[in-house]
A = this chain, B = another copy of it.
Amino acid sequence: MTSVTAITVRYNETDRMGITHHAVYPVWYEQARTDFIKKLGISYSQVEQLGVMLPLVDLSCHYIGSCTYEDQLEVSVKVVQLTPARIRFSYAITKAGEEKPFHTGSTTHAWVDSASFRVINLKKRLPELYEKIASAVEPED
């Protein structure tokens, strides 16, 4: 499954170079992940209520082009790897009406217990959620 989220660049997301500041992209990834998880039939808020969190382990961003205020973007996200302890998402961002992404990236997260912050085995802790995600994994480009 690939989920696509529409985002319009906010004014405060630009910097004095005139383009979107590079630290904004991981925030857009996160908004796209929120939509992705919702499309699986469960919200990330609900996952947290079940005592599970998904802090980042690794972040990687590739800035091919740039964008600015009021640009209309499409953030594509898919899961490219899932283990009982970790999950890896891949992202591609295009401008509305364009084909080629001007930005790509990926994030790796650990499944942890909310209270202890220790890594858990998601397959054992929330088997249903694990299977849902497993069936949505896509190959990396």
Contacts and interface: CB of A to CB of B under 8 A. Distances in A.
B17 A53 contact: yes
Contact of A15 (B8, B12, B60): B12
Interface in A14-57: 14-19, 21-24, 26-27, 30-31, 34, 43-45, 53, 55-57
A61 B63 contact: no
A37 to B, nearest CB: 10
Interface residues of A, number: 37
A141 to B, nearest CB: 17
Contacts of A55: 17, 19, 22, 63, 66
| Chain copies in complex | 4
5 contacts: A11-B16, A23-B24, A23-B26, A59-B63, A60-B60
Interface of A: 8, 10-12, 14-19, 21-24, 26-27, 30-31, 34, 43-45, 53, 55-63, 66, 68-70, 117
